[in-house]
Amino acid sequence: MNALQIKKKIGARALRSRIGKVQIPVALGMTLVWMLLFDAFRFRPETLGIAVLGFLVSVVIMMVFPLPPIVPGFRFWPLQGPYMVLYILGKMFAASIDVSAWVLRPGPPVKSSVVAVRMRTDSDLIMVCVAIATSIIPGSVIVEAAQPGRILYVHVLGAQNDEEAAEAKQGIYELEERIARGIGTRENIAELEAALAAERRNA
């Protein structure tokens, strides 16, 4: 075996290793975000092309920048999963109306706050999904994600006092609950139920 054949064999092995690091659920999630960015959820001639291109870009990104396996226990619950999607779309629609009203309303600029939200589930996947969903909802954006403590710092438009900041924080917790019940494992849902029970006892 000459040097060229050895290099080809090593290259093929490296390529297979990179392909093996592609996580299909993550690629599908990135494709969803890609389609949201390009407003591709309306039926248009180019919708399928945008979806395919988004998936290919996601695969290339994961081959070039391999991610740790964050979705070994990924689940999609047939009832709660679609409800999660509808819930996020509803939040996007309602937030779009609120932001438009703030922009068009005369008077001083709308104030905002940065809210710290500690996740109640011990899941990298759910934390990432909450961060993505929060960022695509108008009026909110992730400023920082502290992974060791599972804390998301969220810049919230319109949270002008402690009461409104607490309301915004509760909205993110509801988003986490919908995502955990939609794609979380049984362990994630059990963690969520335990946290909710503790909150009810302390209320």
How confident is the model over 156-198, as pLDDT tens digits?
Answer: 998 888 999 999 999 999 999 999 999 998 999 999 999 999 9
pLDDT at 64: 79
* R_g of the chain computed on alpha carbons: 20
Average pLDDT over residues 13-19: 61
Which has more confidence, 142 or 61?
142
pTM: 0.67
Tokens 């990104």 identify what position? 61
- pLDDT band for position 125 (cuts 50, 70, 90): confident
pLDDT at 17: 63
Considering the chain, what percentage of its residues have pLDDT values greater than 70?
A: 84
Return the exposure string of 111-141: e unless at least 16 CB atoms fall within 10 Å of the residue's CB, then b: ebbebebebbbebbbbbbbbbbbbebbbbbe
